[in-house]
Structure formats: structure tokens, C-alpha cells
Chains A and B, each alone.
Chain A
């Protein structure tokens, strides 16, 4: 408690000397949008932008017509990659799809075994939003089965609904405030492509620590 007071005392003392003023105050969201990368207001154009951004990021998008189609296409991915075990969380879309694969499914209930999660070939989650502007997927510890499920397995599979697509980052943040304001999940993450590093000679390598593959199923 003592150091807290000391630090505040020094801050207040320091701020007595006024700085050169910088007019304007905190920017409005409209001002932010005015300078940031432009995004069309048309849904189709936003969808095209999300596709283009995902391709550049090397995330894969799979469009599916309905739940049946989702299960068929997910099974194709299972066979292609030879999954032996997957992990998922309890959610409308994620759990039934995971269970339809006919593989052992680890469900991330509170207290699940993280060592077991490390042996799963894919983590299947839902999300809060998709961001056209940047190709990002917004997940939280509440919407995507905790913190590790979307990060520890080598393949992160997201099941999203098309209407979850939003235009830009300011919209995604506004939506977060509206949805959770006052009771936020303890983790909120914008995931923009599979895990990557450029730490060796600035050469891009995917799958540094997090998932090597990111697949987004859009229902």
C-alpha cells in the first residue's frame, strides 16, 4: 500500500508542471474510422474482403450450407489430416460437430487435463465475431472454451455463422462492450491467422507455438 501512495504522490507532483497542450482530446469512433483502412458497408464486399485477408494470412475458409454439410466437410478434414483425437467446448455448433466425427473428444470442462489437450490433433471452437478489415477471429474464454483450447492443439478449427462477420475493429470492440460490458470474460483475443514467427532472418514460419493451421467453417 505504501508504494502505491508513493507512486501516486510522485505522479501528482510531476503533473503539476503542465505539458505543451495538444488539442482534441480523446478521438471519437467516427474519427478512428476516418483514418483507418476503409471497409465497404455492403455485406458481400465485406465477405470478399474477409476471404482475401484470410488467404493472405494462410487461414482457410470453408463455406458450408447447413449442419449436415458442416459435418461432412469436417469429416473430410479429419480424413485428410488423419486426426485421432479432437477437443471441443460445450456450444451449440461445436460439440455436436465434434461428436459427429466418431473420434474421442476431450471437452474442456473446468478442470480438464491440459496434458491431454496437448495430445489432441485439433481444437474446435466457436467465436464472437469475424472482422473483415483484418481477417481476424474474435474469441473469448467464454465463447471458445477457455484459454488453451484455441491455442494449444496444432489445428484450430472455428465454426462461425456468416452473420457474425463485422466490418472493422471499431465495430468488433463496440460489440464486445455491448455484449459483455460489466462482466467481461477473463480472456479476449483477436486471432489473425495461424501462429507465426519471423524471428529467424525475418522469414515467415507458421506454427511457432500456437496452431499451425487455422480453418474457419462458415455456416
Chain B
């Protein structure tokens, strides 16, 4: 089996020079950047808002036990069943036991990254349930049997033509390639599923401790229908999602919208605090909340990187990341891509297997600068590199630094090496870019910068 690191290198090498992919992503990101920047200016003080959001998350994460306890007791008081899962397997088992008890056949889902994290769809399909993703982008990638490309825009990598073909192949429905027509195809197909579904599964963007509510942000209304029509509702949420007070949402909802999609406010921001109450017309008879740890507590234990638990999954760091834009969302092969994914995946799935993600960064800091909750992302990437080197230094790195250290520490050796390199560069110039070029790995796609004709010392001596 290929390791995640070599898979990553192969995929990155394939996607980066793919001009079609580049064109699609640049077009989508260009539109996003324009509206996002307009909305940031709409705030009186965007930097101030980031500070307040960071303070709120700092308080919540550093008193997670207290707020989680409050959240759960408030939820349970209004008839919600709360379940606890330390691992993915436990979370799946909890959900399966509810499905069995309800004798469910059709399950409708609204977008939930936590469910991607525990690979719920595949497990449910294998167990014989009909599972339908209802978010349009998720529905499209589910039909194509792909993972979501992006935290917020799952089908960002596809054109209308690709989607038209997918609908023809998988649904046997012919439509024009007009986005409106394509959306209406999905609306019709999914409407029927909503009315048939026995169970609805959602994620959550926030968990409000003070009132015992989950909050879901969405544009399509698919989560609202998922929470309204099936008799049983299950919400799978990470334990780190708590916010202390309901009024905190007044700040977080617009910030999430601005950063996520460049909207002032996402179309539906909905809070759910229980199953249907006695005086209410409809809603599920049972509401289950499954709280997922799945190594979030290991990230919590790392005081240096704990702030990464404040992530609101807006996707803003992916959108500004030069690496993400070049290698694309699927290359990461992780649930969470981009800078935040590179930071947290080593905690969620093991540093040895996933430290290569932190190497794939220019450390430009664009992610840190854009993050609405001020997670120190690019420093965390550096810390992961450090931790990775401590854990298991690569033989190449070890040898390279062993050779480099004596040369760099002895003046005469250093001068000699730079002089030899200058000659070497000239000779190499004759074979530049060809297969026998010693720097072929670099020069097959890029220019190798020349070594300066003069060292600083030489230059200084001349000036004296």
C-alpha cells in the first residue's frame, strides 16, 4: 500500500500542472474574494471582530468541560437524548443502533463534516441503508462517489458540464447544463426522499451551552427540511463546537457567512433545542445528539496548538492558501483540507503518517492573517514539522544536516564549497532541465535560481 505521503506527492504532481483544474478553481476563488472583501468592509471593525471571536473561542475551549456539561444538561432537560463517542467506531455504532431501533430504511443527510470524518456514508451504504446527501454539492459528489473537494464548496472542482453528465449517468435524467435547471433536478429528486426518509442526520456549526441548542448554518434549506420532516433527527457534532452564550451567535453567524461564502448572513441560521414540543405542529419525535471526541482531546492537550479547536470550518484558510489552490482539495486525502487540515490531521490521525502535510506549505501566513478566530495556523505548521522531526527524522534530512553542519561551521570549507558550486552551476547549465541534470526534480518544471557571482565577503573586500 502506498503511504499517505507518497500518495500526496503523486497527486500533487498530477494536479498542480493541470490547467483545467487551475482555471476552475481560480474562477471560483476570484468571485469569492471580491464579495468577501466587500463584506469585511461592511463591518465597522473587522480586526476588532476577529479579536472578539478569538476571545470567545478561547474562553469556550479553555473551559470546555464546564460548557459541555451545561450544554448537555440543558439539552437533556428538554427531551433530547445525548450520546458520547470517543472514537469514530463508537459514533457509527451509536447511529446504527438508533437506525436499527427505528427500523429505518431511508436516511436523508444534510452536510456534516463530522460524518465524513467517521466515514458514515460508506458504512451505512454497506449496511444496506439508502443514504441521500441533500446539500446540492454533497449530493453531486456522492453521486460521483467522490469525497467533498472543499469544506464549504464540495463540488467546487466541477463544471456545469461535468454535473450534467453526472446526472445523466447516475440519475438517468437529461437536463440542460444551466445551473438553475441542474439545481431543479436535484430539488425534484430530493423532495421525494425527504418525504420518504425515516431518519434525518445533520451536523452542527455551533453548540450553545447557555440554552442547550445546536446551530446550523446553510443556504439551501436542506438542513431545515432534514430537521423538520423525518420522525427521528440525529445530530453528529464535535465536542469542541460549544459557544458559551446564545448572544455569541450574533457575532459568529455573520462572521462565518462573510468568511465562508462572502455573504452578509447565510440564508438559514437555525437553532434546535429539542424534539417537537407538546405545543408545536411538527418536528421529529426524537432528537439525538451524538458528541464526538475522535482525538479532539489530544489536540486539547497540546496547549501550543489548542487554539485550533476554535475552528469554525469556514474554509477561509483554504481559499487563500497557495498550496490548496495548486494541488486541489482531493490531494490532501483528509476530511479537512488546506492549512487547518494540515494542522489538525496529525492530531486526529497520527503525526507519523500525516506530517508531510505540514511540509507542503510556503509558510506565507495568509491563512493566519485571514482566520476569523485568529488560529496561529502557519506557526502550527512549523510546530508540526518540529514535532515530526523529533518523532522520526528522515534519513535524508539527518544525513543532509550532518554533512551541512561541519561545512557551514568551518569558514574555509564554506568558501570552498560556494566556489565549487559556482563552477558546478556553470557545468550544470549545459544540461539544464534535461534528464541528466542533477537538479532535474526541480528544473523539469522550474528555473533554478543562479548562485550569486560574488559572495558578500568578496563584494565587501572589493569596496574597501
B297 x A35 contact (CB < 8 A): no
Is B322 close to A, CB under 8 A?
no
CB-CB nearest in chain B for A211: B221
Q: How far is the CA of A169 from the CA of B49 in the complex (A)?
A: 14
Q: How far is the CA of A134 from the CA of B228 in the complex (A)?
A: 25
B270 x A3 contact (CB < 8 A): no
CB-CB nearest in chain A for B239: A7
A200 with B160, Cβ < 8 A, contacts A3-B90, A7-B86, A142-B280 known: yes
Is A179 close to B, CB under 8 A?
no
Near A by CB (< 8 A), chain B positions 41-80 give 42-46, 48-49, 51-52, 54-56, 58-59, 61-65, 68-69, 78
Contact partner of B221 (CB less than 8 A), chosen from A6, A38, A149, A209, is A209
A142 with B279, Cβ < 8 A, contacts A18-B303, A134-B254, A209-B225 known: yes
B273 x A186 contact (CB < 8 A): yes
Residues of A within 8 Å of B159, CB to CB, are 201
Residues of B within 8 Å of A18, CB to CB, are 303
Contact partner of A35 (CB less than 8 A), chosen from B43, B69, B307, is B43
Report, as a range, how many residues of chain B touch the other chain: 35 or more
CB-CB nearest in chain A for B54: A22
Near A by CB (< 8 A), chain B positions 152-172 give 153-156, 158-160, 163
A201 with B179, Cβ < 8 A, contacts A14-B300, A151-B224, A195-B219 known: yes
CB-CB nearest in chain B for A24: B55
Is B7 close to A, CB under 8 A?
no
Stretch binding the partner chain, chosen from A73-81, A94-102, A109-117: A109-117
Least Cβ–Cβ distance between B32 and chain A, in angstroms: 7
A202 x B239 contact (CB < 8 A): no
Number of interface residues of A (CB under 8 A): 83
Residues of B within 8 Å of A31, CB to CB, are 52
Contact partner of B155 (CB less than 8 A), chosen from A112, A170, A200, is A200
Near A by CB (< 8 A), chain B positions 122-144 give 134-137, 140
Contact partner of A32 (CB less than 8 A), chosen from B32, B250, B271, is B250
Least Cβ–Cβ distance between B106 and chain A, in angstroms: 14
Contact partner of A192 (CB less than 8 A), chosen from B183, B190, B266, is B266
A110 with B280, Cβ < 8 A, contacts A19-B58, A187-B270, A190-B265 known: yes
* Total A-B contacts with CB atoms under 8 angstroms apart: 291
B65 x A196 contact (CB < 8 A): no
B282 x A108 contact (CB < 8 A): yes
A26 with B253, Cβ < 8 A, contacts A110-B281, A197-B183 known: no
Can you list 22 A-B pairs, Cβ within 8 angstroms, ordered by A?
A: A14-B297, A22-B58, A32-B251, A35-B45, A36-B251, A110-B281, A114-B195, A142-B279, A146-B282, A147-B224, A147-B227, A168-B250, A169-B250, A169-B254, A173-B246, A185-B277, A192-B266, A195-B268, A199-B153, A208-B186, A209-B221, A209-B222
Report which B residues bind A (CB closer than 8 A).
27-28, 31-32, 42-46, 48-49, 51-52, 54-56, 58-59, 61-65, 68-69, 78, 84-86, 90, 134-137, 140, 153-156, 158-160, 163, 179-180, 182-184, 186-187, 190-191, 195, 211, 213, 219-222, 224-225, 227-229, 239, 244-251, 253-254, 261, 263-277, 279-283, 287, 291, 293, 297-298, 300-301, 303, 306-307
Report which A residues bind B (CB closer than 8 A).
3-4, 6-8, 10-15, 17-20, 22, 24-27, 29, 31-32, 34-38, 53, 89, 108-110, 112, 114-115, 118, 134-136, 141-142, 145-149, 151-152, 168-170, 172-174, 176-177, 184-203, 205, 207-211
